[in-house]
Structure 1
Amino acid sequence: MDVTAHLGLASTDVTLATWPNLHGDWTPVVHPTLLETIGLHTALSVAIDALRLANRLADF
């Protein structure tokens, strides 16, 4: 089975990874990429919040 991980963004769809010809239980192969994506999302969310706060503080 071919497995592909996609990330749907507002303006485009990004391919995160492709695993061709996976056999059996492919969870251990795919799971780390999903965890990295969740970590990236969390880091970007924190960065966005920090930038918004910095912009608000700069307005004072």
Structure 2
Amino acid sequence: MTAHLSLTTTEVLLANWPSLHGDWTPVVHPTMLEVTGLHAALSVAIDALHLANHLATN
């Protein structure tokens, strides 16, 4: 099993579990929490960048 993140210009491999069989939820769930946290951090960074650009132009 593999987990990928599809971005506008590329696809990023998040994790690879080559011998994962059966119920994979306990293994994959922490990775999904990490991805959710990364998404939140990137959203805050993007908002901060937009604010900085707005303040720089005014």
In the superposition, the TM-score normalised over structure 1's length comes to: 0.87
Structure 2 residues without counterparts, runs of 5 or longer = none
Aligned partner of 1:22 in structure 2 is 20
Q: The residue matched to 1:49 in structure 2 has which SS?
A: helix
Q: Percent identity?
A: 72
CA RMSD, 1 decimal: 0.9
Which one has more relative contact order, counting CA pairs under 8 Å at least 6 apart? 1
Q: Which residue of 2 aligns with 1:35?
A: 33
Aligned residues: 58
TM-score after normalising by structure 2: 0.90
Give 4+ residue runs of structure 1 displaced > 2 Å after superposition.
Answer: none
Q: Which runs of 5+ in 1 are unaligned?
A: none
